[in-house]
Structure 1
């Protein structure tokens, strides 16, 4: 990395207004129009940098994606893909209990940490390189997607097709708690469960009914009890019943399993699909949902990590690496064998909660790290 990158005039205070605009455009996965508004904002910011903008229509009821490409002398050669998601887990209205605000060295807001902050510093890294006239080593494409928080059911094919045209993938998902980066991720599988009971009047004929809710509660306890050091099982969504004076006919739930090894996840899938109801008078169906494959560290990924570590040390900090849970779209590209480095985004904590925040002091060094990588990889 040439010295000019170290001297680029990144300024955390100057980044905050633009990041505020991104965060205050709430973009929950299940609101396609809201995600579209967020993509419009990002598209304009990237267009101002001279990128060629393509909005890719959403499907399956989810929002659109955004692809931005930059002119380069080697445009026909495999490039660098900067990949992030613009959807968040926070529903519209979260800005009321979690407003965008600065408190000391922290910026709070829905999606500020996961992962609009990382996406924003990636765009800022490109902006600073262009402004300084520093060329990137390869053509750069930015891909922002719309459904990562629910496992990328509508975008996996797009992600894999785009990544296949690139030599390197950089993912500005949040940094690890110690500031480290991610060189592999665990496998994740999702499941949809439905229990079916027998309705009755809960006041007059309670004994005649068989509660789907009660059966689901039994299943939840059994599922989560299967957790071991190799595989985790959790139930994060449950819906059942319609009237409190009716014994529930149906109850639906969503479960997630995570494993460090693909064979362990495969065994977990078999376990989940083999679940049976606890009695003959109730029914249970389990269907497999979105799955993220294991991304295991490889020599190319580790070489990219060492390059990143060398850049970080020149900037003035060090980075560790690790395989991590909490899947990302890096699972797909890493599992494809494409050189991928994840966790390049901001430091912070509280993702997916009303305490979500980033650390302001991480904005400049992490943006410089991304700029350095774009210059040399």
Structure 2
């Protein structure tokens, strides 16, 4: 059914007050107790909104996840799955540098844009429709996970299994443009890099050793220099050495590679694996492939979803365009499965993953109404 989306009872100020609790509960991926607390808070809030919620133990060493269903007479039939993540890239203590702060139509805080704001808007949209007396044609489920920011190594199978039960997938990741949603994402691969040197005393026998840090620095530059228009390479998270008076024997780093097409990513992988070598004396450079996100190219079903969203946005008074984006999300998986998936439905903001991460407050309501419009008519 079509509804008057402008009448959906969502108030940005009230939503921001609720979101504040989420933002001020820091939840970096690698801090399991913090993510568990965030999941518990989200689960409690969803229960208060009328959802039935199941907390799912997270992957080993990582936080719990939450699976929720809103009451519906067709529960158990294929419906709509909203997927999001509760983990952030911001370490504990970021609130001291990036406190929850409001100035005019902007509000700052760790994870407020990526993607606690979008998650909060989405679950609020479900409740707002119920408050209007609107029954969605299809049952609505929500899956909130705990490891998206590290490539979803532990919850990919859960996401794909849940998505397979449904007809549509909505992803309230940040809107990369004020009036844009995401209909495709690039292919992404992560790699572990390890340089293995030879030890010696850095003062008394410097030349007898071989520095793993120096090796990593040299190879890092060569790897990043392979970046071109088809495939990019970025090396970060570098750790090496323990004592300044010892020639470092091990240096580790991570590499992120991204391409618009799967074949370009595969060619990039072959180029990167060519750096892998081991010498008879134990020195060398190891390249190990880690998690990947498949390329997601817009399907006919995804574009039909976009056209609906575009019409709804027009009713809300703003134009809507679409794009394929480089930043990965769990929409990569569902889109690559061929499921109609619409991503980037979350709040409008900027500078995610930085100490200037912020949202435009009014987008909590406008994006919530956009999601509500989709929920109300998808069948």
Task: Give TM class, smaller chain.
Answer: over 0.9
Q: 1: distance between equivalents of 2:236 and 2:177? A: 23
Q: 2: distance between equivalents of 1:279 and 1:69? A: 55
Aligned to 1:303: 304
How far does residue 280 in structure 1 lie from its aligned partner after superposition?
Answer: 7.9
How far does residue 278 in structure 1 lie from its aligned partner after superposition?
Answer: 10
Aligned to 1:284: 285
Q: 1: distance between equivalents of 2:280 and 2:271? A: 20
Aligned 1:105-124 pairs, distance under 5 A: 105-124=105-124
Aligned to 2:340: 339
Aligned 1:1-377 pairs, distance under 5 A: 2-276=2-276, 282-377=283-378
Q: 2: distance between equivalents of 1:372 and 1:179? A: 16
How far does residue 205 in structure 1 lie from its aligned partner after superposition?
Answer: 1.0
How far does residue 185 in structure 1 lie from its aligned partner after superposition?
Answer: 0.3
Alpha carbons 2:3, 2:376 under 8 Å: kept: no
Task: Please say which of residues 70-79 and 131-140 is displaced more in the overlay.
Answer: 70-79
Gaps of 5+ in 1: none
Gaps of 5+ in 2: none
How far does residue 277 in structure 1 lie from its aligned partner after superposition?
Answer: 5.4
Q: 2: distance between equivalents of 1:142 and 1:310? A: 24
Alpha carbons 1:23, 1:112 under 8 Å: kept: yes
How far does residue 47 in structure 1 lie from its aligned partner after superposition?
Answer: 0.4
Q: RMSD in angstroms over aligned alpha carbons? A: 1.3
Q: 2: distance between equivalents of 1:306 and 1:165? A: 23
How far does residue 178 in structure 1 lie from its aligned partner after superposition?
Answer: 3.6
Q: 1: distance between equivalents of 2:36 and 2:179? A: 31
Match of 1:302, SS? helix
Alpha carbons 1:215, 1:278 under 8 Å: kept: no
Aligned residues: 377
Q: Deviations over 1:88-131 (max 9, x none)?
A: 00001000000001012111000000000000100110111111
How far does residue 72 in structure 1 lie from its aligned partner after superposition?
Answer: 1.1
